[in-house]
Chains A and B, each alone.
Chain A
């Protein structure tokens, strides 16, 4: 019996489909997180403004917290995927470190798209709920009605941000798995750098977020993703499989 040739991509796709099924609990947790975030959003943030004899009490409702919670969720998922219990799930399957990483990346993309869509619609849901439960006569409609283009725009940006964040934390997770020293080193280096070069964090955010068009932002994310994938591969390629 001769050994058979196998294709890297087909094995990666098989692992990806396997992971979609094996990690459904992670996706369920996202929905739970978002429900919590929506409940928080319904409380709104209040304030009072006074000008002479006029006093205005207002409450702002925003679905931003849903996105923030989704980002926290994708960070946890990305780091979890690099940990031993999740990497162990690969060992009964055919594959190597490259197929494992490729399928993890596939899963993270899917998770990002899923989280991006659900959290965007979380904002729509919040508007609907507010429309019915609040006194419409006292509602300021600024930003209440979303155009379809804005909705899609917001969704794409949310997805791209989630992809970027997930890949960064997947890479950091891999570093920690390669050597536990990084668990201490990474926070020290990041916090230390931000303290010494106070503007660095801001300029990094500006590079991605400020004054860029959507295609340019997408391009920046894709290039960063490819770089992160490349170095993730370098890190994991020499790693042994510990059980």
Chain B
């Protein structure tokens, strides 16, 4: 059963389309990574799913309901991001206590356990937390709420690397114990890779890819070698990324499927064939020009 169904979804702010004819389904009890560059529409999409924003066009269903202003969707989902605010009249422990009645599956044992583990000061106010601590505290709310649909929008902003690893581990452990649909948006795919099942890559409001994380790893290969030799193999095929090096050397990223038959031939001709990290691949797939930032310097 799919938890989120999205058909031809568009969200426009005046003439600018933040989300542009996006179609996808997200299945129940999967961890999906929503990957995209800055301003690609990730947050807008997540806010529509959470029922904060009205879609301009198209259809969006969460738990088979239109999410905007829906109490039922709100009761079954939680959006964790860095804009969450709490009254200064409440201490951190108060917040954990006050959130509990709202969420049916709330696990206070886990919430307090994580709270102690990160050694928060119980008497502190939420607004006085540092950026990283705020993200850490919010992530506790996300994990402990155990909502059937848990959405994290850039959850690791400001966290140091130790806390980030702890967060991913805690999330994964609790997910295994209590499976639910989780969406994580981020641009740091390399760190997330280990826990993601599916990856949804969006760029300028449109879908670039939606596939299992394992397939993304195998999707493309990098060819590096003499420019002429490399080009002879990729001629006429769709090139994902191309970068020129000194002494006529060329690096090209291409879908594995397109050159699968010639792979031995390529290797024999002295061209180096290497896997492409998913992080890099996502950057290549979402860049506006084939040559990346280098193009800017070539022109000048």
Interface residues of A (CB under 8 A from B): 1-6, 8, 11, 14, 18, 21-25, 85, 88-89, 91-99, 237-238, 240-241, 243
Contact = CB atoms under 8 A, between A and B. Distances in A.
Given A6-B72, A11-B71, A241 B52 contact: yes
Given A22-B89, A95-B102, A243-B83, 19 more contacts: A3-B73, A3-B148, A4-B72, A6-B72, A18-B102, A21-B89, A22-B86, A25-B89, A85-B85, A88-B83, A89-B87, A91-B84, A91-B85, A94-B103, A96-B70, A97-B69, A237-B69, A240-B52, A241-B53
A2 B94 CA distance: 29
Contact of A243 (B52, B69, B86, B98): B52
B74 interface: yes
A155 B143 CA distance: 48
Interface string B165-207: 0000000000000011000000000000000000000000000
Contacts of A237: 69
B99 A93 contact: yes
B75 A92 contact: no
A21 B74 CA distance: 22
A23 B63 CA distance: 33
16 contacts: A1-B180, A3-B75, A4-B72, A11-B71, A18-B98, A21-B89, A23-B89, A25-B87, A88-B85, A92-B85, A93-B99, A95-B74, A97-B69, A241-B52, A243-B47, A243-B81
A3 B72 contact: yes
B18 to A, nearest CB: 13
Query: Which secondary structure characterizes the binding site on chain A?
Result: loop
Contact of B71 (A8, A18, A21, A88): A8
A238 B54 CA distance: 8
A196 to B, nearest CB: 37
Contacts of A92: 78, 84-86, 99, 141
Interface in B1-43: 28-29
A22 B71 contact: no
Nearest to A241: B52
A21 B76 CA distance: 24
Given A237-B69, A238-B54, A23 B74 contact: no
